[in-house]
Amino acid sequence: MTDDLGLEVDVPARVSRVVSIVPSLTEAIATTAPGLLVGATDWCTHPPDLDVTRVRGTKNPDVERIVSLAPDLVVANQEENRASDLDRLRAAGVPVWVTDIRTLDGAFTSLARMLAACGLDRPAWLDEAEAAWAALPEPTVRRRAVVPIWRRPWMAVGRDTFTGSVLARLGVDNVLADADERYPRFRPDHLPPHDLVVLPDEPYRFTADDGPEAFPGVPAALVSGRLLTWYGPSLVEAAEVLPEALSVGAR
């Protein structure tokens, strides 16, 4: 089998032990096949009752602990995880499946392929998520937004991102979509014209008192970072919640 990077992965005929080092992939697997996961990162918060060995974070996984869990497969993501950590896992003889999800439509295909690599059939929640997004009406009005993800320094969603694809489907165009970087630094007073700022609660926890004041005169939509950036079962809820959340200040 080949993963999203086109790399051949020696997946065992029977997969019974999986480690995920991406929170959204953790939720996708745990929801589909409870008990299949034996390890996940400290940031894997969904499902809330997930009871597995924790292996630190996406950017600093405990490779030795992961290897000690004897997984049949480790699932990762090209953006979230460092290539050097994945190479160390491969060198230890652990098969690694890497996803590369940059569009909404691409998420449905990639998740189905990853779950198939885990020996799982396409789950009902994935069909439900795809149907929910397909059922949304095409936007009749488009808005221009900046989407900060951090402050001190300010950083935002830039080009070629899953988040940008989700927003575009909902009629919100990212004003930094042509940036040289996927997550560029910026100054709030040096931005292209925009009529919305989208403030997620992760990775930086923007709140009503921390974030909107930096963009005076511009409506601010405070949204769940999980619904805006995660690809998995949360896509079902995202299709229901985000359209209303992003309508703030719309004319």
Task: Tell me if domain 18-122 and domain 140-245 are identical in fold.
Answer: yes
Q: Which CATH number applies to 140-245? A: 3.40.50.1980
CA neighbours within 13 Å on the CB side: how many for 158? 12
Spatial distance between the Cα atoms of 220 and 212, rounded to a whole number of angstroms: 6
d(CA 145, CA 40): 33
Cα-Cα-Cα-Cα dihedral sign, residues 149, 151, 152, 158: positive
pLDDT digits (tens, 9 = 90+) for 93-113: 999 999 999 999 999 999 999
Q: Which two tokens stand for residue 139?
A: 């936007």
Could you report the per-residue pLDDT of 101-149, keeping only the tens digit for each? 999 999 999 999 999 999 999 999 999 999 999 999 999 999 999 999 9
Per-chain mean pLDDT for the chain: 96
Residue 16 has pLDDT above 80, yes or no: yes
Amino acid sitting at position 95: P
User: What residues contact residue 116 under an 8 Å CB cut-off, 6+ apart?
Assistant: 122
As its CATH architecture, domain 18-122 has 3-Layer(aba) Sandwich (3.40)
CA gap 176, 147 in Å, rounded? 8
For 135-138, the CB contacts below 8 A with 24+ separation are 135/239, 136/169, 136/170, 136/239, 136/243
Look at residue 251 in the predicted model and tell me its pLDDT.
63
Average confidence (pLDDT) over 150-161: 96
How do the domains of the chain map onto residue ranges? 18-122, 140-245
Say yes or no to pLDDT of 196 above 80.
Answer: yes
Q: Which of 219, 161, 217 is nearest to 189 (CA)?
A: 217
Give the pLDDT confidence of 221-245 residue by residue, as tens digits.
999 999 999 999 999 999 999 999 9
- Non-local (6+) Cβ contacts of 140 within 8 A are 171
